[in-house]
Amino acid sequence: MKIKSAVIFFALTIFLILSFYQGINAGNVNETSVVEANIIGFANQSGNTSDVSIWVPDYIFLGDVTSDDPVSDEIKIYINNTGRLPITVTPQLKDSDENIFSYLFFRTTKTTNGTSVPFKRIGDYSLNIDKPLAGKSYSSKYCWISLDLTDFTGEIKEDLMGYKSEIVFLAMPQ
């Protein structure tokens, strides 16, 4: 686990350095988001396995958001149920006073029967994930996340390079 964490940290560091270097040379405005997971659950009688447990990405980069193009890239993220029960996961902002990232939007799929599926704003979106199948350590589902500042009414007085906020993924048994 420590080796895996070290490899992920090294890869993330290289990615950040390259992103920063390219941003300086290209004059890009980068927006970032730190993702955090709260694992909410109950240990079983023996204490070996949690009934509710999840794993989410440590970091999600949404790309550039500009006044000319106020919608970020649409990023696919995986949420893994590593517990023993089916769960419902609801993303929420850790800081309820956060203005910019309160315009994060989620959806489970892009289209249904050729029709675009609308996004739901952070706090209004939930994703159900089945419990892992027998012999499996996790069950996985993905969703799409995007920052859409089209209807943003706040004031941004200067370019915000590397602007970050934290998302808490609340996991509850179904």
In the structure encoding, which two tokens stand for residue 8, read together?
């992920």
In 3D space, the residue among 142, 120, 21, 128 whose CA is nearest the CA of residue 85 turns out to be 128
In the structure encoding, which two tokens stand for residue 88, read together?
């419902």
**pLDDT(28) > 70:** no
When computed from its CA atoms, the radius of gyration of the chain, rounded to whole angstroms, is 18
Angstrom distance (rounded) from CA 121 to CA 125? 6
Please report where in the chains the tokens 């800081």 appear, as a residue: 95
54 touches 39 (CB < 8 A)? yes
pLDDT at 151: 96
Number of C-beta neighbours around residue 6 at 10 A: 10
pLDDT at 34: 76
pLDDT at 38: 57
The answer as to whether 64 is a domain residue is yes
In the structure encoding, which two tokens stand for residue 87, read together?
């769960």
- Alpha helices per DSSP H over 47-106: none
The answer as to whether 24 is a domain residue is no
Number of domains in the chain: 1
| Contacts of residue 73, Cβ cutoff 8 Å, sequence gap at least 6 | 62, 63, 146
Q: Burial level of 147, CB count in 10 A (0-12/13-18/19+)?
A: buried
The answer as to whether 126 is a domain residue is yes
Share of the chain above pLDDT 70, in %: 72
The answer as to whether 88 is a domain residue is yes
The answer as to whether 16 is a domain residue is no
The answer as to whether 77 is a domain residue is yes
The answer as to whether 56 is a domain residue is yes
| Contacts of residue 85, Cβ cutoff 8 Å, sequence gap at least 6 | 51, 52, 131, 173, 174
Strand partners, 95: none
> pLDDT, tens digit, for every residue of 66-97?
999 999 999 999 999 999 999 999 999 999 99
Q: Residue 147 is part of which domain span? A: 31-152+162-173
> pLDDT, tens digit, for every residue of 100-157?
999 999 999 998 888 989 999 999 999 999 999 998 999 999 999 999 999 999 999 9
- Whether this prediction's pTM lies above 0.75 is answered by no
The answer as to whether 133 is a domain residue is yes
Question: Domain holding 106: CATH number?
Answer: 2.60.40
pLDDT at 112: 86
118 touches 107 (CB < 8 A)? yes
- Identify the H or E element spanning 168: strand 166-173
